[in-house]
Amino acid sequence: MNPTIRTLTFDCTGDPYELGLFWSELLGRPLADDDKPGDPEAVIADPAGGPTLLFVRVPESKAAKNRIHLDLQPQGRTRSQEVERALRLGATKIADHTRPDGGGWVVLADPEGNEFCVERGESD
């Protein structure tokens, strides 16, 4: 038997609840009912059974580029619309790798500096 990916963990030096709220809004998935501001961790479950997102407070700041990141494909929005929405929620744009043919991706960072990419959307 092979293992399954159960949880993707995000380290943060700030409030895990606040970082969880950013991802909750971005992904349209609620934080766990028992999560509250100031908790040492916060959780977002995937109702479809995919990996849980776990946000954990750590003492050290992020020091380098992520070695792993999430690639998001917009649903019902274009890549540009999704990027603008993420920026309004508190993301930061790192780089735009959109190609002339519409392929490519945009690299963003969440409020703690964790990188993620937004790919071409269904509507692009």
At 75-115, the pLDDT tens digits run 999 999 999 999 999 999 999 999 999 999 999 999 999 99
C-alpha closest to that of 14 among 65, 69, 55, 73: 55
Q: At what angle do helices 79-89 and 16-27 cross, to 10 degrees?
A: 150
**Distance linking the first and last C-alpha atoms of the chain:** 39
For the entire predicted model, the pTM comes to 0.92
Beta strand 52-57 with 105-109 is: unpaired
41: Cβ–Cβ under 8 A, 6 or more apart, which residues?
A: 16, 35, 54, 55, 56, 57
> Over 80: is that where the pLDDT of 19 sits?
yes
Average pLDDT value for residue range 54-63: 91
- 14 pLDDT tier (thresholds 50, 70, 90): very high
Give me the sign of the Cα torsion angle 59, 63, 69, 73. positive
Strand partners of residue 50: none
Stretch 12-25: mean pLDDT: 97
State residue 106's pLDDT score: 98
Mean pLDDT of the chain: 94
